[in-house]
Amino acid sequence: MIETGDRVLLVGEGREFFVKAGPGKLGTDKGQLDLEALVGKDGGDIVTTHNGSEFTIRIPRPTDFFTYGKRSGAPMLPKDIGLVMAYTGMNHNDDVLDAGTGSGIAAIYFGGVARSVKTYEIRPEFSNLAKKNIYEAKLPNVEAVAKDFLDAEGTYDVVHLDLQILPEHVSHAYALLRSGGYLACYTPFLEQMAIVVDAATPLFREVHTHELIEREMTRSKRGTRPSTSVSHSGYVTIARK
């Protein structure tokens, strides 16, 4: 049941709105909607504007926070986050350390799967924004920490890095990982990827790098073909201790 302050996605004909349930009104070209009326409702319920236009309530998922959540920069794309989760085998038994929090989007995805997530961000203003997104995603198992990753302590099953990676970051990740655990490093450029691979190879049993490519298919009356938009986003290096 939706409570005051909960994030809700309202879906109508050709329109979507990411709102908070509670005091206030949403003005749209389909009419005005009382946000207080969302409290007590459930996902799938229908609400109407003052002129009778209908919106379906959706309970937000991580994909919606990627699309509508407040950002401090460009987050990792869902396909890239998915590769990290797949190649590390991230699951409900895992304690995950994420570093380079940004807006907290990757941590939100991880938090829906892992037992616990601790995400480090050296910039306090970014960490504070991430905390708000994580709170609105209703993930009590995710903790945002405004510290340098090199100050991180503890032991983890997966360490994920999305930052300007140096060799000392790789060696520190190795020290934090349990035996059999995985390091996953996202790097947008080949030069950064090489730093990761060179630092990880002497330490880890397995080191593999994957280029991140995805092409959406488009279909029209003329036919079906891959989209012509840019499909490359970066590289993920996966290393197992």
Report whether pLDDT(73) > 80. Answer: no
Domain that holds residue 13: 7-58
pLDDT in tens, 94-151: 999 999 999 999 999 999 999 999 999 999 999 999 999 999 999 999 999 999 999 9
Compute the C-alpha angle 241/232/112, nearest 5°. Answer: 55
Provide the domain count of the chain.
2
pLDDT in tens, 157-189: 999 999 999 999 999 999 999 999 999 999 999
pLDDT in tens, 24-45: 888 887 788 889 989 999 999 8
1 lies in a domain? Answer: no
pLDDT in tens, 192-240: 999 999 999 999 999 999 999 988 899 999 999 988 787 889 999 999 9
Q: What is the CATH number of the domain that holds 19?
A: 3.10.330.20
77 lies in a domain? Answer: yes
Q: Tell me which of 16, 43, 58 is where a domain ends.
A: 58
Alpha helices in 89-236 (DSSP H): 105-111, 124-136, 167-176, 190-200
Same domain membership, residue 97 and residue 52: no
Distance separating alpha carbons of residues 145 and 97, to the nearest angstrom: 11
**The predicted structure's pLDDT at residue 78:** 93
Query: What is the pTM for the complete model shown?
Result: 0.89
